[in-house]
Chains A and B, each alone.
Chain A
Amino acid sequence: MADRSAFSPESLTENRLLYWIAAGLAVVMLAPVIWIVGLSLKNNQELMLGTEAVFRAPYTLKNYADIFVNSQVFGWFLNSMIVAVGQTLGVLTLCSLAGYAFARLEFPFRRTIFILVLFGLAVPEQAVIIARHQMFNWFGLHNTHIALMLPGMSSAFGVFLMTQFFRAIPREIDEAAMLDNTSQFRIFWKVLLPLTMPAQATLGIFTFLLAWNDYWWPLISATKKEMFTLTIGIASSQTNFAQSEGLGFLSAQAIFASLPVVIVYIFFQRHIVTAVSGGAVK
């Protein structure tokens, strides 16, 4: 019998075979994660004898409990939280103010400054990190939360994103507010800023993830164990891999360390995808 369903353009681009291959490949994506989850639920002594024990009961949450009892992981978690939240708030404040000004206000050298900031997008971390390390050394700032937060705030991406977003708000909104006798700061604060909430969320989540996952800068700036972030801390316990702490405990640490970003990801997936793809595809 002929297919009498209405024509849809999707039918021309969708391919069942490709789809099922992609679905099958998902196993490769997931297998390592499942493996780690399995290990984290096993007693370390049992794993010493052979990791195929993963496929057998009993399972235990002891490794997770140990994180809170006898390790520095919890302290690292706090450091990561302080740094990521602080950096995010800083970025949102700086970029909102700058974005508004670049998009709406006229001041000398506005274009030149904006172009200069855009050039900042092209500067990779390793071109500045040695000098940054020296600078923080001059001021004795290493091994502080501030030192971990500050460099991420110089990123030009947020300024670019917020400027674009402020530009997308119709000028008539400002003009209506001007006719409503609104002062300039009140226009920014009461009228425009609330309208940038979607962009704030996108930029905020994106910054949080970057800060949480940052590796190189904390690696060289936080040298004292108690100032480690989770990324550095977990990496440091990897060096004595499989010797003292055991695979199960290591796996549990990894999962614990990923929980915040996984939770953020589950709730804000759309914002994250917008942030990473928004810059490249308009």
Chain B
Amino acid sequence: MSAAIQINDVTKRYGALTVLENIDLEIAPGEFVVFLGPSGCGKSTLLRMIAGLEAVDSGTISLGGDRIDTLPPGKRGVAMVFQSYALYPHMTVSQNMGFGLQNIGVAPRDIDRRVKAAAETLEIAHLLDRKPAKLSGGQRQRVAIGRAIVKEPQAFLFDEPLSNLDAALRGRTRLELAQLHQRLGATMIFVTHDQVEAMTLADRIVILNERRIEQMGAPMEIYQRPATKFVAQFVGTPAMSFLPVSGIEDGARGVTLDVAGAGRVETGVHLPATFARENASLGIRAEDAKVLTPGEDGVPLRVKVVERLGDRAFIYGTLSDGTDFVVEDAGRSTVAAGQEVRIGFDPDALHIFDSAGRAYHHTEGA
């Protein structure tokens, strides 16, 4: 039931505008892949090309080893859940779920059986005779998923399916989708701009930006070892702080940096000889910096705002050169706006970016 997807050198243009360029991607059978990126990065377009709703300008797409990019959408063996659900308003829930099977001439008895089975799984059996207008947002969402399940597709495509739900329901549906994936073991592609959805659901995240794949990898790999400054900035809340680097000095543990607002910063990162030293920057996540106890020696931070989340607090401030910086502190933090505190960094969790945005990290055992 689940099949591999190969995307080979795919390009998409709208007139003179290229929205995707030379995309190569292989998805293993049963893998849950999330396309993550800012709006307009082409992630939905890529999904719609797999579905057959957008034409491929060059390159090929295969599913289970068979080329599908020349087939009409209904013949590709994929099912899609739309952001707006796109349920047929004039059909009941069971008609909605059975319509696709009816179109390919499945016997009414079998349609009935498959619709009932899917409805049981999704706990919507009691809604089968209702029309979409009489359903809540969450229920519509389930019907949309049910409509995909009954088709027993080789791959499921989700186009931001959670973005129309309220926060609580979104969290719950996320968990249920993860369970559904475990149970069905189907290949799933999920498009979102929400990094929490991406981090929690994905076996592998594909980050798209400006026509290209910026990075692919397991969620924690993306988070801890972002390949580029863009990924570092896009993934993680609050966003990583970046400090301009004015000088780099090699050392045994790693390079030591001259940073305008923070003086000399020792890192656990080794840079290759080819590293272009001009216009480099240092990236630090809020949880990789800490507020030092008074009297300890550290980098001074002028506090502007303290954001308390209960279990932790984010302290937003500026360094001596005016650069913005965020540091995480304990929930009971006593730091207040207007104060000046001293902060320190974990040298092994620092990221260095060259002028082109390529990232360098601490390597274990190096």
Contacts and interface: CB of A to CB of B under 8 A. Distances in A.
A and B, direct touch (CB closer than 8 Å): yes
A interface, by DSSP: helix, strand, loop or mixed?
A: helix
Interface stretch (B18-26, B72-80, B340-348): B72-80
B230 interface: no
A182 interface: yes
B90 A179 contact: no
Nearest to B157: A179
Interface residues of B, number: 24
B84 A179 contact: no
A172 B89 contact: no
A176 B74 contact: no
Contacts of B88: 173, 176-177, 191
A175 B103 contact: no
Given A170-B86, A175-B73, A175-B86, A182 B99 contact: yes
Interface residues of A, number: 17
Interface in A163-211: 170, 172-173, 175-183, 186, 191, 194-195, 197
A177 B87 CA distance: 9
Contacts, number: 60
B100 A179 contact: yes
Interface in B107-147: 147
B253 to A, nearest CB: 55
Central interface residue in A175, A177, A181, A186, by most chain B CB within 10 Å: A181
Given A178-B52, A178-B53, A179-B73, A172 B99 contact: no
A251 B104 CA distance: 61
B103 A186 contact: yes
B86 to A, nearest CB: 4
Contact of A179 (B80, B83, B87, B89): B80
A173 B82 CA distance: 9
A199 to B, nearest CB: 13
A179 B104 contact: no
Given A175-B53, A194-B90, A180 B72 contact: no
B79 A181 contact: no
Contact of B82 (A176, A180, A186, A191): A176
A54 B25 CA distance: 89
A197 B83 CA distance: 25
Contacts of B83: 172
B205 interface: no
Nearest to A194: B90
A180 B52 contact: no
B82 A175 contact: yes
Nearest to B48: A175
B132 to A, nearest CB: 11
A243 B80 CA distance: 75
Shortest Cβ-Cβ A-B pairs, 10 listed? A181-B74, A180-B100, A172-B86, A176-B86, A178-B73, A194-B90, A181-B103, A172-B82, A179-B73, A175-B53
30 contacts: A170-B84, A170-B86, A172-B82, A172-B86, A175-B80, A175-B82, A175-B86, A176-B82, A176-B87, A177-B88, A177-B99, A178-B52, A178-B53, A178-B73, A178-B74, A179-B52, A179-B73, A179-B74, A179-B78, A179-B100, A180-B99, A180-B100, A180-B103, A180-B151, A181-B75, A181-B104, A183-B103, A191-B88, A194-B90, A195-B89
Interface of B: 51-53, 72-75, 78-80, 82-84, 86-90, 99-100, 103-104, 147, 151
Given A175-B53, A176-B82, A178-B74, 10 more contacts: A172-B83, A173-B89, A175-B80, A176-B147, A178-B73, A180-B99, A180-B103, A180-B147, A181-B103, A181-B104
